[in-house]
Structure 1
Amino acid sequence: MIFKDVNINSKKELDKYFDLVDYEACEYCFVTLYLWQHVYKTKYYIGDDFAIIMAEYEGNSFSILPLAKKEKLPEVIDFTIEHFKESNKKIYFRGITKEVADLLQEGYPQKFDYTEERDLFDYIYDGESLRTLGGKKNQKKRNHLNYFLKEYEGRYEYKLLNEENFDECLNLMKKWADTKEDNDEYDEGMDDELVGIKKIFEDYKNLKDKLKVAGVYIDGELAAFTMGEYLNSNMALVHIEKADASIRGLYQYINQQFIVNEFENVEFVNREEDLGIPGLRKAKLSYHPIRFVEKYTVREA
């Protein structure tokens, strides 16, 4: 089996396989793979009506769920397990759903260790709740939003962005990272994220058929930007959201407007995982997710 590196040219090959599945986790999307390819050395193999994604973590090869129709999934998982054996590697899956973990337990009893990865759970929100910020539970969010709308009335503009705006996004990203560093909240993953965002911007012409990038300007200067896409027909996936945290209500504004303007009919919004970062977890929980996409690591016992 010959695996190829995930690069921008892989999109044409892989998109049709992503269309085969209805997984709700953020990993099952070309932009996610491409955004983090330099970190995980992500590769893929195209088989007979399926694709296998392999990557590396802490020096060990792992696979995420194969991209295949549901009825074919058990067969392709067996195929992937055989690949591990033939490569003399320990069997190792990451980002596995509870449904597939149960399938593996049934088909391969006593063979694997299963770890629930709370830090990698995706947060799923009610789309209408994010669009309206209605109800008592969102009162604080509405207060921040209303403050922003009043304080900056006539001075802000929400709009979709393209290549001519991306240098402004990168400058904002640097300012955002500097504030995190000053507050001792800097995480090494932020450097990797910046590398990935630069790749997305450089290759945006090949991604803009699905990926949307939007920003908020205040007094003509970019103060926030975000990017996302449809993960499936009923769910939006928000990859990135950065804003000047010193501007009260700005995060609430761009969060709301992105869903209102670009994903007006989706029932659900996936805002990805918190990676165990306390501040990020607190922020994601504050929007009251209706459920999580649970993920499991499965390793050969």
Structure 2
Amino acid sequence: MAKLTVNKHTLKPFGLDAKPVIEKYLAKLDVDISDYTFAANYIWLANSSGFYAIINKCFCLFVMTGGELTMLLPPLGKKKHVTEAMVRCFDIMNKNNSSRYYARIDYVQASMIEAFVQSTDEGESMFEMLEHYIVEKKLVDYVYEADNLIELRGNSYHTKRTEINKFIKSYADHRIEVLDSVKHHDEIMHLFNKWVSDRVKYMPKEEAELFLDGIHQERHAVKRMLKHYEELQLIGLVIYIDGELKGFTAGERISADTAAVIIEKTDFEVMGCAQFIFRAFSKMLKEHYGSTYINVGDDMGFENLRKVKMSYRPFKLVAKYTIYQK
């Protein structure tokens, strides 16, 4: 992918060589949102064009969609540099885009919004700048205490324990393996395609069309995840029943005390499989990273997914905002 030059700023392709660059900036931040990792962005940009630049001493990540530039993350850097970097980033987007209304900054953590508002740098403060910008709450990440997901104690987890116990009794021959991106590649893609087909069967036609639009991107993300699994430093599990792969999951570390589940897919026809592999992977994440908390990402606006994630009793919901221009 070629570099992109906009308003005298050179934006570099967001490839594997950007991993140590963005991680240097992320290491200085206190964030627990699942989107704030190299792997999360690199995987989901599999079917898009990502670009980055260091602007006002901040790492700035852009994505090009249909010729229009937006930002996947706010500028990553010290508080005193972020506000000016944001202004410059909007200027870059405006210079490239066909309309200034396409420009936006996604996945902004609440603490960063507060930092913008409380900016005391020389010149225009973010409080004054809010006259020119709109901050809109979008989705929330679901964060759980790892021990709760592993132990499933108390009445609130009774249903989860029952589902797991039924799974163990019904599929005594199940086995779990550490995910191997080469060994398990074809079986994972086969299960992913079956998962898509099963989901569509039970959806209203109008929902299915919307679902399939998004699933195209997710299929490319899974392929990229498997292709660069080692370089991305991910960990994962797969589960077999009667010698057939029926579930897979992968994740990574976000911060010193928080790990994230990037993706999880199981066969709908195997009752209790999703609950079983989720608990097993929660244990793996805690043991591998020493994580106290596990972030499973947002619900993408799907009500059914929201209900499932709420049923596990999240420790906290971490809001994510988008910044637009007025």
Whether the TM-score (by the shorter chain) exceeds 0.5 is: yes
Alignment of 1:1-301 (within 5 A): 1-39=9-47, 41-46=49-54, 50-56=58-64, 60-63=68-71, 64-68=73-77, 72-85=78-91, 88-89=94-95, 90=100, 92-106=104-118, 107-108=125-126, 109=128, 110-117=131-138, 120-153=139-172, 155-162=173-180, 163-184=182-203, 186=208, 187=211, 188-207=213-232, 210-264=233-287, 265-301=290-326
Q: Is the 8 A contact 1:105 1:112 kept in 2?
A: no
Q: Is the 8 A contact 2:47 2:220 kept in 1?
A: no
Q: Is the 8 A contact 2:259 2:285 kept in 1?
A: no
What is the number of equivalent residue pairs in this alignment?
293
Q: What is the distance in 2 between the residues matched to 1:94 and 1:164?
A: 36
Q: Percent identity at matched positions?
A: 27
Q: What is the distance in 2 between the residues matched to 1:19 and 1:27?
A: 14
Q: Is the 8 A contact 2:261 2:294 kept in 1?
A: yes
Moved more, 81-90 or 15-24: 81-90
Deviations 1:90-149 (A, max 9, x none): 4632111222223334423222112111xx211111111111111110000000001111
Q: What is the distance in 2 between the residues matched to 1:48 and 1:124?
A: 32
Q: What is the distance in 1 between the residues matched to 2:79 and 2:47?
A: 27
- One-letter code aligned to 1:215: V
Runs of 4+ in 1 over 4 A off after TM superposition: 56-60
> C-alpha displacement at 1:66, in angstroms?
2.2
Q: What TM-score comes out, normalization by structure 1 length?
A: 0.90
Structure 2, unaligned runs of 5 or more:
1-8, 119-124
Q: What is the distance in 2 between the residues matched to 1:58 and 1:114?
A: 24
Q: Is the 8 A contact 1:66 1:73 kept in 2?
A: no
Summarize the Cα distance change of 1:49–1:201 in structure 2 as closer, same or farther, 3 Å threshold. Answer: same
> C-alpha displacement at 1:59, in angstroms?
6.1
- One-letter code aligned to 1:78: E
- One-letter code aligned to 1:113: I
Higher relative contact order (CA 8 A, sep 6+): 1
- One-letter code aligned to 1:97: Q
Summarize the Cα distance change of 1:57–1:291 in structure 2 as closer, same or farther, 3 Å threshold. Answer: farther
Deviations 1:47-85 (A, max 9, x none): 5754111224676433322222xxx22313312312422
What is the RMSD computed on CA atoms of the aligned residues?
2.0
Q: What TM-score comes out, normalization by structure 2 length?
A: 0.83
Q: Is the 8 A contact 2:11 2:52 kept in 1?
A: yes
Q: What is the distance in 2 between the residues matched to 1:103 and 1:161?
A: 40
Summarize the Cα distance change of 1:83–1:176 in structure 2 as closer, same or farther, 3 Å threshold. Answer: closer
- One-letter code aligned to 1:12: P
Q: What is the distance in 2 between the residues matched to 1:98 and 1:282?
A: 23
